[in-house]
Structure 1
Amino acid sequence: MKGKHTIKIHDHLIELNRPHIMAVLNVTPDSFYAGSRVQGEKKTAHRIAQIISEGADWIDVGGYSSRPGAENISPQLEKERLAPALDILATNYPEFPVSVDTFRAEIANWAIEKYNAAIINDISGGQLDPEILEVAGRHRLPYIGMHMRGTPQDMQQYTQYDDIVRDITLYFAEMVEKASQAGIDDLIIDPGFGFAKKIDDNYLLLSRLRELLVLDKPILVGMSRKSMIYKMLNISPEDSLCGTIALHTIAMQNGASIIRVHDVKPAAQMIAVVNKTQEQYD
């Protein structure tokens, strides 16, 4: 379970020798999981305090829904959605690492310069706005690049693979080169569970996740309450916590360094139990 990777956040070197928790803070009105949506200053402030108190390492703030078929909103509306949460975080928790979930260079740069965002989380891996790589490199921030084909509006039309793990490995090999050219020191890869992938693709990818370690980059996974759980089990996102914990446990055992979750306390408990078990073999 222990890894050798480090990343630099706010001038602090972070060792990823234990799984880290990235908590989702959705400020979109149309996220696929209704329970993750927060609207209004009081509810947002309460949710942020809860996330931090329950043991999250980082908060990932997103104002653009990436669910299949989501509306393609304007950069201005994305800023309007993000600003209240980013303002609360910058004012009340200035040292807490904040990730901005966006594929737009303009939004990333704005969040960094105005609110001191510490991480860029890009669902498109630089495909939708290549300049976002330059923003991450210029500011010397960790950059999370995800695997996706197409856009959130049409990605489920692009689910044909010869060998999904091989194809994704080649995709990330190219990303490693682009990130290096852009001056990015800390690249984190996200295989993009649920993005341009069929349900069986997701489970195959999870079972072979360790093969991505050949890239020698930290792996982030996000499967929290996703359709690979609730469609397979014929339940709702609201009933998908147990499946989420199971999948993230498997991901950790298969080499993931970071899990992106809606439910922080259960994730922290799961990590503690897995780590305690692992200690017996170290």
Structure 2
Amino acid sequence: MGILNLTPDSFSDGGKFNDEKSALEHTEKLVKDGAEIIDIGPQSTRPNAEFLSSQEEIKRIGSIIFQIKKEFPEALISLDTFYSETVKFGFNEGIDIINDISGGQYDEKMFETAAETKLPYILMHVNPSYETMHDKIKFADITLEVNRYFSKKNSELLEKGVKDIILDPGFGFGKSVDDQMKMITETEHLGFGRFPLLIGISRKSFIYKPLGKSALDIKEETQKLHMKVLEQGAKILRVHDVAETAVTISEFLQKNKKC
């Protein structure tokens, strides 16, 4: 899953792809480098980011979904939003996946809308409100907490009629460095084996801050962690650096082929 931020304020690539021409050029690069899913983000969710309404998100998206579907029909499109109205707009434009960082907690109509569209839904673990999204919480056992959350939310989604669910443990959202490293080492225990697991650790501060590096200087370290989660059953990697990740995935597949 290659990341396409349409935002002026994302933490590592803000303002680079927030016009149609540059967004399409970046999408072309992502696809050529090996991305099978393009994750479109109209709103930054980094700490202290600008808060947008659904209508502002829709205005920012414009015709980019339609254009990507036209130019790159082989690519799936996921839409990164916590608004049901933005999902409805994206559905009409042709998106393939809903990527909701809120787990339906920031818009009470999200689960219902996901069921209506019948699109795959990415369920992420996160704090219960937009205002507390990045508040660090001390968990007694992060893996147990994430699984309890998944269990509750999965039941709600299934009851609403959402059957195609992808689980995202929510790296970078309200978790300590230690808890996030624990999730890396315990990836095989996250989720219940019934739903595919998405891991999004690309350019996350829990990797680069302890090393005294920047978000752009941890490619090698990130790929080592990608290999770890792949070995534990992760199915989707959400990344900025697609070419490097494609090499890691190829190495993983070759290693497992030999096994």
TM-score range, shorter chain: over 0.9
Shift of 1:231: 0.5
Shift of 1:157: 2.2
Aligned to 2:117: 139
Shift of 1:234: 0.8
Shift of 1:152: 5.1
Asked whether the equivalents of residues 61 and 101 of structure 1 are also in contact (C-alpha less than 8 Å), the reply is yes
After TM superposition, the score normalised by the length of structure 1 is 0.87
Where in structure 1 are there 5+ consecutive unaligned residues? 1-21
Aligned equivalents of 1:230, 1:152: Cα separation in 2: 25
**Is 1:112 matched with 2:91?**
yes
What secondary structure is seen at the aligned counterpart in 2 of 1:136? Answer: helix
After TM superposition, the score normalised by the length of structure 2 is 0.95
1:201-255 deviation digits (Å, cap 9, x = unpaired): 1001111111124352110000001101111111111112112211111111111
**Is 1:196 matched with 2:174?**
yes
Shift of 1:83: 1.8
Distance change in 2, residues 1:28/1:268 (3 Å): same
Aligned to 1:248: 226
Q: How does 1:34-183 map to 2 (within 5 A)?
A: 34=13, 37-113=16-92, 115-151=93-129, 153-183=131-161
Question: RMSD of aligned C-alpha atoms?
Answer: 1.6
Q: How does 1:200-279 map to 2 (within 5 A)?
A: 200-279=178-257
Letter in structure 2 aligned against 1:204: K
Q: Which has the higher contact order (CA 8 A, sep 6+)?
A: 1
What secondary structure is seen at the aligned counterpart in 1 of 2:248? Answer: helix
* % identical aligned pairs: 36
Distance change in 2, residues 1:164/1:204 (3 Å): same
**Aligned pairs, how many?**
259
Asked whether the equivalents of residues 209 and 251 of structure 1 are also in contact (C-alpha less than 8 Å), the reply is yes
Shift of 1:23: 0.7
Shift of 1:110: 0.8
Letter in structure 1 aligned against 2:231: Q
Shift of 1:130: 2.8
Where in structure 2 are there 5+ consecutive unaligned residues? none
Shift of 1:35: 7.0
Aligned equivalents of 1:238, 1:53: Cα separation in 2: 21
**Is 1:32 matched with 2:11?**
yes
What secondary structure is seen at the aligned counterpart in 2 of 1:261? Answer: coil
Shift of 1:150: 3.8
Aligned equivalents of 1:159, 1:256: Cα separation in 2: 25
Aligned equivalents of 1:246, 1:262: Cα separation in 2: 15
Aligned equivalents of 2:161, 2:3: Cα separation in 1: 27
Aligned equivalents of 1:223, 1:37: Cα separation in 2: 20
Shift of 1:70: 1.6
Asked whether the equivalents of residues 173 and 215 of structure 1 are also in contact (C-alpha less than 8 Å), the reply is no
Asked whether the equivalents of residues 8 and 15 of structure 2 are also in contact (C-alpha less than 8 Å), the reply is no
Asked whether the equivalents of residues 67 and 152 of structure 1 are also in contact (C-alpha less than 8 Å), the reply is no
1:91-128 deviation digits (Å, cap 9, x = unpaired): 32345310000010010011101x11110000011111
Shift of 1:84: 4.0
What secondary structure is seen at the aligned counterpart in 2 of 1:59? Answer: strand
Aligned equivalents of 1:214, 1:45: Cα separation in 2: 37
Letter in structure 2 aligned against 1:274: F
